[in-house]
Structure 1
Amino acid sequence: MPAHNQIKTYPLTHSNGDSIDFAIKSTGDIFDAMVDNPDMQDHPHRHAYYTLILIEEALSGVHIIDFKEYNFEGAAVHFVHPGQVHQFISKTRPKGSVLNFSRTFLMQNGISEDLIERVYLFNSYGDSPPLPIDSMQLSVLKDIIEQMQEYQNGTNYYRYDALGALLKLFLINICGACSLSPHNMQHETGSNRLIRNFRQQLEKDYQVNHKVQYYAQALSVSSDYLNRFIKSKTGKSAKELIQDKLLLESKRLLLFSDLSSKELAFELGFEEPSNFNAFFKKLSGRSPIAFRQSLRS
């Protein structure tokens, strides 16, 4: 793994450097470009935009997302959210497509981020396994992508609107196909909204407060109820999800910054550096410094 100062966060741009909000590419074309130009070999990096990767068949390789490895076991959709660290490693030419789009594109086309977020609503932080799809689902998604490519390469005055409509259709089909959790098949309910609101509150305040009671009060429920309910839906309590979030953000900071353990502790809202060190070692099995050294060796 390259040193942290070589790990980049990429904006969404055209080949000429101009900023764009949507792009679709062939995984095969990307692979060919990397073979022809070793400097383009994929290294751990992150995006300032969403990426969906449709893989049409099993591959020899691995997709690493937020320090977890996922094999290419068959047709699947891989999700990479803005800010996630990922690396796509394939030993053979992959057959599929890559969709890149910004939050601005979603907003301008009236697409709710919930269509993406609900896929992993019941997963732990940093747990982003690919969504396996069957042959019928693959056929539908490929057809949508073909239409996207036609509009992207065409001159239709409303092609931008068409791309937005097709992306929304693509996401709707993904949500319908979602089998990562039986709960994901449920319609939006009050209970689902509680999980969603908890995650949103945690995303906003994880650096400020690590207590379940704080989030329970913000959501107008008791701490005991929030812990039990979250665990009944996700397999982990609210406290464990808070810890998962803190651990993931700790790892990202250790990878992308030169902050000391003391500075990291205060950045993440720990009162004492010793508390942060003990927390990190308990959950990861290594000290923060040992973890950082393992990434840079």
Structure 2
Amino acid sequence: MNPIRTDHEIPRYALNPLDGAGNSMFQVVEGTGQLPSQQDALLIPHRKDYYFLAYVRDGNTRHWVDMTPYTLKPQTFYFTIPHQVHLKEEVGPMYGTLVAFTEEFLALDDNRLLKKLPIIQNPYNGHELLLSARDIAFVEETLAKMTAEYQYPADWQHEMASAHLRVLLIYLSRLYTEQFTQAQQQVDRQLVKRFQSLVEARFKELHQVADYADLLHLSAGHLSETIKQQSGKTAIELIHERLVLEAKRLLFHTDHSVKEITARLGFEDASYFNRFFKRLTTRTPVEYRTSIREMYH
């Protein structure tokens, strides 16, 4: 395992050819309890310069991927993509199957479509896939076929091993979409609730999406996209709707002047507030007050 010296803070390790088998683009290794070579290198933060899949049949060591700790679980699938940061708390025996491949492997003509798979793109920065009994049976059978092709040379060996890998990655991508999308939707729904609570509490002083994004420690773009996906409305639309609702309440139920309402809602300029209100309701504040009170009486 040789570090690539392009990152001076966190070393990156390339995929080295194994003795007597494989190449620097694609490898399959059976973990039979042996400890990895160069163990000390795994006990410091590092990156792998390749995609790494691990089906764990048995093992219980603890490690970190980016800022999340994981303790290995039996009959569980783990995966990482290049540039995620790894750190092992300890090095212990692991029983299972390890598969590694590089960007160059994915660039081969037969493999280019794999780049689009969720488990390869990893949009949720995941690492662990939980497997049902049905999943375990499928994964173990596919890995056994892949390992057999990889270990015993025969005609079309590379094509057969790659074909099994493609089947495995497609299957795992289905699990990825199911598990991570559902989990992310829960997170997103909680984010919408937090955003709406903040708007309710501070809409009179904060009128911009960026203001709320700062409070939530998010980018304005990510906040807007999430709100749109979960509510069907943009974040700025929800802020504006809350402002207009309060303006209508004040116009109908109080005798505050438009200038006073402008100040109460955090607008500095009454003429701007007039334009804002008309753009969202098609009427000026005075026109709205007149029409709604005529309806009431």
Deviation for aligned residue 1:149: 1.6
User: 1:89: Cα distance to partner?
Assistant: 4.7
- Give 2:15's aligned residue: 12
Q: Deviations over 1:33-58 (max 9, x none)?
A: 44xx655654321111100111124x
Give a deviation string over 1:140-163, Cα, whole Å, max 9, x none.
Answer: 111211211221122223111112
In structure 1, what is the Cα distance between the partners aligned to 2:168 and 2:69? 25
- Percent identical pairs in the alignment equals 17
Indicate the residue corresponding to 2:44 in structure 1. Answer: 43
Q: Deviations over 1:214-237 (max 9, x none)?
A: x9xxxxxxx95x34234569xxx9
Change (3 A) 1:66 1:80: same
Moved more, 10-19 or 94-103: 10-19
1:114 to 116, 121, 124: 116
CA RMSD of aligned residues (A): 3.6
Aligned to 1:77: 77
- TM-score relative to the length of structure 2: 0.53
Say yes or no: does 1:25 pair with 2:29.
Answer: yes
SS in 2 for 1:156: coil
Alpha-carbon separation, structure 1, partners of 2:105 and 2:115: 11
Distance (whole Å) between structure 2 residues aligned to residue 104 and residue 119 of structure 1 = 15
Q: 1:88 to 1:26 in 2, by over 3 A?
A: farther
Q: Is the 1:60–1:91 contact (alpha carbons within 8 Å) kept by the matching residues of 2?
A: no
SS of 2:154's equivalent in the other structure is coil
Do the aligned residues in 2 keep the contact of 1:46 with 1:82 (CA within 8 Å)? yes
User: Does residue 77 of structure 2 align to residue 56 of structure 1?
Assistant: no
After TM superposition, the score normalised by the length of structure 1 is 0.53
Moved more, 142-151 or 85-94: 85-94
1:114 alignment partner AA:
K
Distance in 2, matches of 1:49 and 1:24, equals 13
Q: 2-side partners of 1:135 and 1:91: how far apart?
A: 28
What are the equivalent positions in structure 2 for 1:113-262 lying under 5 Å apart? Answer: 113-117=115-119, 120-121=122-123, 123=124, 127-178=125-176, 179-181=178-180, 183=182, 212=221, 224=224, 226-230=225-229
Whole-Å separation in 2 of the counterparts to 1:104 and 1:65: 23
Unaligned segments of structure 2, at least 5 residues = 1-6, 184-218, 236-297
More displaced stretch, 9-18 vs 167-176:
9-18
Cα 1:161–1:231 change in 2 (3 A) is same
Specify the SS of the correspondent of 2:105.
Answer: helix
Structure 1 residues 143, 68: closer, same or farther in 2, change over 3 A? same
Distance 1:169 1:52 in 2: 14
Query: Structure 2 counterpart of 1:24, which letter?
Result: V
